[in-house]
Structure 1
Amino acid sequence: MKKRQVMSLVLAGVMAASVTACGGGTAKTAGKTETKEASGKEAASSKSEDRVPIHWLTTGDGAAKAIKPDDRIVAAINEKLGIDLTVEIVPEANTEKVNVAMASGDFPDVVTGAYGTSATKQWIDDGMVIPLNQYFDTMPNIKAWLEDDYEWSAIDGNYYGLPFITQYSAANSLIVFRQDWLDKLGLSYPKTLDDMKNALIAFTNDDPDGDGKANTYGYTAEKPSSTTGGTPFDWVFFAYGLPYADYSVNAGGEVIPFFEDPSFIPAMNYIKDLWDMKVVDPELMLNDNPKKEEKFYQGKCGSMLAPLFRHVTRHENSVRELFSDASISYGLPPEGPDGASGLNKQGKNGMMTCITTACKNPDKAAEFVDFMVSKEGNDLLRLGIEGIHYTKDGDTITFNEEERAKDAFAEDGWAHALAWGSFYWPLESGYIPVSDPNRERALDTVKVATECQMPNLIKQKTPAEIENGSAVNDVFIQYFSDMLQGKISIEDGVVSLGKEWRNQGGDEILKEANEIYKSEKQVE
């Protein structure tokens, strides 16, 4: 009883998008009269008794529209699979509410939580979710998802869910420049670290905005991330030859922290030069994303590290609100002395969708998951029902926004509320509505950003990384800040950082990383 009370309290906070959709009879087909609709609902009610209830608890997409009880997309899924789907979406993609619900013991049939966390690891360790290998012969989309893209996620040969890692094979961040400033100063988008330094100096000292005041600087970005340990200057480390996004390997074939790679000290010297010359935002180590963007839009700095894709037009339009003749440009990050370059780190965080041991009909639950990652399922969630939500003439798709608005589709050709947040994001799918006038430019930014994405040496988060990752990242960020501001020399800082990083859990992280690395080398 207590477990059910806890579950009830958790799900009491679930957003109004929580929906129970029973049978295809809830779908209102265009052109039917009210009498026929009522008759259809009565028949559907009887028909739905033969359907299998599937309860799905998910974080969903925090920005999506609420799903109504008569949603025709959910009804189409029910009709296709012979299920009665209940979708419960926690508010604001709050994974902690999913964790509490699972810990209560009152399990849904299907659950989506955060991948690479102690909570989802506990689901597997405590036998709360089932292995999916048994469905490989009958569920080709599940099999392809796991064996083609996430083969490394198996534990002792078993796959306990479908991981979805954000920015695993796609990226969208680049260094965005004020192209009009470059043009005014006779500069091009920088191709090398020397070009980059010269551009930032010019943006700071040569009055690029023409107001006669020394009130601009070259570069801004967000503060370092305690989640990934990433810095606003990762592109410098990669330019000096850092080979991986997470670790490095020493001459003896041992996995080491990336700051002990030979690239780190010369890269830090370059970064500190920029800092000491005052060509970067003096508040860079405090910036969040809105503050960073505000400085770029207001003409206080000439370049920023920022996500593009859907945002590329927003960035340019925001700059032009104050500077009507402004333009922006983007490109590959600058190359180092030996021609190396890189910018974006391959992701390790994301979501995982599992079937719980409490599910009374796991075969149907697996069929549902298989459909959600199929092309047919994708087309339904992104386009809708042909003839109702869109029409197609050859390769030309025309959206019926009035009908789509009735069924939890976002505006301007964007997808249904169930499309994103559990198995996909638009970036990883390369999805921009065909009706978007800036679609080609947006997709081009992803192509460029993915070209400079750096791979992880170890694809998955190890148990020790899950437990100690935040602590060791905090240690790194503190030393990075101290070295940048001259509170400790770079050479001494690396030595002290290595000791404290290991003491805070780094030794355990390296032990597991080395075991995985060596086992994979043996397979090769």
Structure 2
Amino acid sequence: MKAKKVTGLLLAFVMAFSMTACGNSTSTSADSAESSGSGEEAAQDQADSSERVPIRWLTTGDTAAEVIEDGDRIIEEINNRLGIDLTVEIVPEGNTEKVNVAMASGDFPDIVTGAYGTSATQQWIDDGMVISLNDYMDSSPDITAWLEDYEWSAQDGNYYGLPFITQYETANSLVIMRQDWLDNLGLSYPETLDEMKEVLNAFTFNDPDGNGQDDTFGYTAQKLTDSSSTPFDWVFFAYGLEYADYTLDEDGNIIAWFEDDSFVPAMQYIKELWDSGVIDPELMLNDSTKKEEKFYQGKSGSMLAPLFRHVSRHESSVQELYPEATISYGLPPKGPDGASGLNRQGKSGMFTCITTACENPDKAAEFLNFMVSEEGNNLLRLGIEGIHYTMDGDTVVFNEEERAKDAFSPDGWAHALAWGSFYWPLESGYLPDTEPNRERALETVELASECQIPNLIKQKTAVEIENASVAGDVFTQYFSDMLQGKIGIEEGAQKLSEEWRAQGGQEIIDSVTEVYQTQSAQ
């Protein structure tokens, strides 16, 4: 069912935003495009007849988005339609700590976006820094519709912000391989754990690049940072792990996913790979950049990586050194009983709130309602009719020269305000026609979403957020020790469970159990 849902979502956007480049213009067919220009005259009258209300928004942005300059016409259009004077302060997506520091210092904006499911945003709620949106939902139909998908995010019946959870229903990560290496070795993309072991061994010991040197290994990934995911999730799910976050023991009690019976045999398989030398020996040191470099430089034959709009980047990066190289991807390998999986359903993302310092919360709520509406979505993707695009029958023709004057990313990508807070290309299934190998990119999302494993619990609890760092450190240390043979797998799994529970894990289990019981009763 999930695969069909994702496919339908992608096809809807393929049909709605299929674009072709034409000189300084890009064209797309979009039935809803005209709504991006609707209501402009009425909104302009409103703006002209009353003083604009200042709204300051502190938010995170995507590194791929363009910089918003003074005089940006999309910002002005929003101001005109809503009768506001919007100031947007953007910090890079990796520096959400700057948002947290600003809030902790008391320098409250009117609207703030931070990382959802973290101790910082939970503190905003606990310390009364942000207001409940409940009083504004009757006049904000699009906010209400948005929150219908996040009913579980309410605390004591109150919605304190708009969550945007990434990879909640879609995913984009797969294990990619050097297809030219597979061809050289007479092998195919592995479908089982046994075949995966065979491929990784061949990548390491059978000179897959034909250079006569012992200079390759089978698999690289990036280091663990907590217990929420690992570079070997495809192994744990192949051994029968049923849920992504927690699981149930034989008596129906909630336990940590690494307390499941599947954990020990999965770790034994991973340890065999490690001991045989087919895994990058610097695995526990790699960040994302180092991992990718090793794959691009021909040191590793496979890596776990995000695809979708990145799939062509990965292949072209390899081809800079190896012009004849090609990559392949597929569903994760099946385990002894036929189980498989890879991507864990998301629980993290962004959280946009109205602060207690906001003097015009009604207007702030109106702005947020616009941002999650179809009208706002169309404005941020298409622009202003007659400036950023024109209509040719049912086809939208983009004026890339005009779009470049504002904060639109090139080749049909959206305005900077659309990136990160409420929309990601993956979650919306949006990929311009100008994207190289577009159909392949869309295919990777279907495959990655097909092997996404659901959560047992929909949300993170406040206790889980508070204890996550210490408990995560315990898991990371024991995982590393077991992998490197500093402690046996069975003994390590037992001590991991004991120490994790002693270091806050038991409190997490208690809080999660309470939520699960409520969730099950609904």
| Corresponding residue of 1:180 | 180
Contact 2:222 / 2:284 at 8 angstroms: preserved in 1? yes
- My pick for the range that moved more, 134-143 or 487-496, is 134-143
Q: Which runs of 5+ in 1 are unaligned?
A: 1-42
Counterpart Cα distance in 2 of 1:448 and 1:235: 14
Q: How many residues align?
A: 479
Q: 1:249-268, aligned counterparts within 5 Å? A: 249-268=248-267
Q: Residues 485 and 366 of structure 1: is their aligned pair in 2 closer, same or farther, counting only changes over 3 Å?
A: same
- My pick for the range that moved more, 434-443 or 378-387, is 434-443
Asked if 1:189 corresponds to 2:204, the answer is no
Q: Residues 66 and 44 of structure 1: is their aligned pair in 2 closer, same or farther, counting only changes over 3 Å?
A: farther
| Corresponding residue of 1:123 | 124
Contact 1:61 / 1:418 at 8 angstroms: preserved in 2? no
Contact 1:115 / 1:349 at 8 angstroms: preserved in 2? yes
Contact 2:180 / 2:325 at 8 angstroms: preserved in 1? yes
Q: Which runs of 5+ in 2 are unaligned?
A: 1-43
Once the two structures are superposed, what CA deviation does each residue of 1:278-301 show, in whole Å capped at 9, x if it has no partner? Answer: 112122222111211111112222
| Corresponding residue of 2:167 | 167
| Corresponding residue of 2:55 | 54
Counterpart Cα distance in 1 of 2:109 and 2:457: 32
Counterpart Cα distance in 1 of 2:225 and 2:397: 41
Contact 2:46 / 2:81 at 8 angstroms: preserved in 1? no
Q: How far off is 1:441 after superposition?
A: 1.7
One-letter amino acid of the structure 2 residue matched with residue 343 of structure 1: L
| Corresponding residue of 1:296 | 295
Counterpart Cα distance in 1 of 2:441 and 2:266: 31
Q: Residues 294 and 48 of structure 1: is their aligned pair in 2 closer, same or farther, counting only changes over 3 Å?
A: farther
| Corresponding residue of 1:482 | 481
Q: 1:277-426, aligned counterparts within 5 Å? A: 277-394=276-393, 396-426=395-425
Q: How far off is 1:104 after superposition?
A: 3.4
**Secondary structure at 2:494's aligned position in 1?**
helix
Residue identity over aligned pairs, in percent, reads: 72
| Corresponding residue of 1:8 | none
**Secondary structure at 2:520's aligned position in 1?**
helix
Contact 2:59 / 2:421 at 8 angstroms: preserved in 1? yes
| Corresponding residue of 1:152 | 152
**Secondary structure at 1:479's aligned position in 2?**
helix
Q: Residues 279 and 93 of structure 1: is their aligned pair in 2 closer, same or farther, counting only changes over 3 Å?
A: closer
**Secondary structure at 1:337's aligned position in 2?**
coil
Once the two structures are superposed, what CA deviation does each residue of 1:373-416 show, in whole Å capped at 9, x if it has no partner? Answer: 11211111122112211234356443322111111112222221
| Corresponding residue of 2:37 | none
**Secondary structure at 2:196's aligned position in 1?**
helix
Counterpart Cα distance in 1 of 2:340 and 2:512: 25
Q: Residues 215 and 60 of structure 1: is their aligned pair in 2 closer, same or farther, counting only changes over 3 Å?
A: closer
Counterpart Cα distance in 1 of 2:316 and 2:460: 39
Counterpart Cα distance in 2 of 1:225 and 1:169: 23
Counterpart Cα distance in 1 of 2:211 and 2:311: 27
Contact 1:397 / 1:434 at 8 angstroms: preserved in 2? no
| Corresponding residue of 2:115 | 114
**Secondary structure at 1:480's aligned position in 2?**
helix
Once the two structures are superposed, what CA deviation does each residue of 1:253-287 show, in whole Å capped at 9, x if it has no partner? Answer: 11111111010111111111111111121222221
Counterpart Cα distance in 2 of 1:286 and 1:199: 24
| Corresponding residue of 2:80 | 79
Asked if 1:68 corresponds to 2:74, the answer is no
Q: How far off is 1:49 after superposition?
A: 5.3
Counterpart Cα distance in 1 of 2:488 and 2:393: 64
Counterpart Cα distance in 2 of 1:271 and 1:153: 36
| Corresponding residue of 2:200 | 200
| Corresponding residue of 1:143 | 144
Contact 1:245 / 1:456 at 8 angstroms: preserved in 2? yes
Once the two structures are superposed, what CA deviation does each residue of 1:180-205 show, in whole Å capped at 9, x if it has no partner? Answer: 11122221111111111111112122
Contact 2:47 / 2:84 at 8 angstroms: preserved in 1? no
Contact 1:224 / 1:232 at 8 angstroms: preserved in 2? yes
**Secondary structure at 1:406's aligned position in 2?**
coil
| Corresponding residue of 1:446 | 445
Counterpart Cα distance in 1 of 2:268 and 2:50: 70
- Higher RCO (Cα < 8 Å, 6 or more apart): 2
Q: Residues 109 and 46 of structure 1: is their aligned pair in 2 closer, same or farther, counting only changes over 3 Å?
A: closer
Counterpart Cα distance in 1 of 2:113 and 2:497: 36
| Corresponding residue of 2:134 | 133
Q: Residues 306 and 128 of structure 1: is their aligned pair in 2 closer, same or farther, counting only changes over 3 Å?
A: same
Counterpart Cα distance in 1 of 2:107 and 2:278: 56
Counterpart Cα distance in 1 of 2:283 and 2:107: 45
Counterpart Cα distance in 1 of 2:321 and 2:64: 28
**Secondary structure at 1:94's aligned position in 2?**
helix
One-letter amino acid of the structure 1 residue matched with residue 312 of structure 2: T
Counterpart Cα distance in 2 of 1:476 and 1:46: 55
Q: How far off is 1:46 after superposition?
A: 9.4
Counterpart Cα distance in 1 of 2:402 and 2:261: 59
Q: TM-score, normalised by structure 2?
A: 0.88
Contact 2:163 / 2:351 at 8 angstroms: preserved in 1? yes
Q: Residues 91 and 517 of structure 1: is their aligned pair in 2 closer, same or farther, counting only changes over 3 Å?
A: closer
**Secondary structure at 1:112's aligned position in 2?**
strand
Once the two structures are superposed, what CA deviation does each residue of 1:320-375 show, in whole Å capped at 9, x if it has no partner? Answer: 12222111111110111111111111222221111123322222211110110112
One-letter amino acid of the structure 2 residue matched with residue 347 of structure 1: G
Contact 2:50 / 2:83 at 8 angstroms: preserved in 1? no
| Corresponding residue of 1:34 | none
Counterpart Cα distance in 2 of 1:489 and 1:244: 25
Q: How far off is 1:212 after superposition?
A: 2.2
| Corresponding residue of 1:504 | 503
Q: Residues 272 and 87 of structure 1: is their aligned pair in 2 closer, same or farther, counting only changes over 3 Å?
A: same
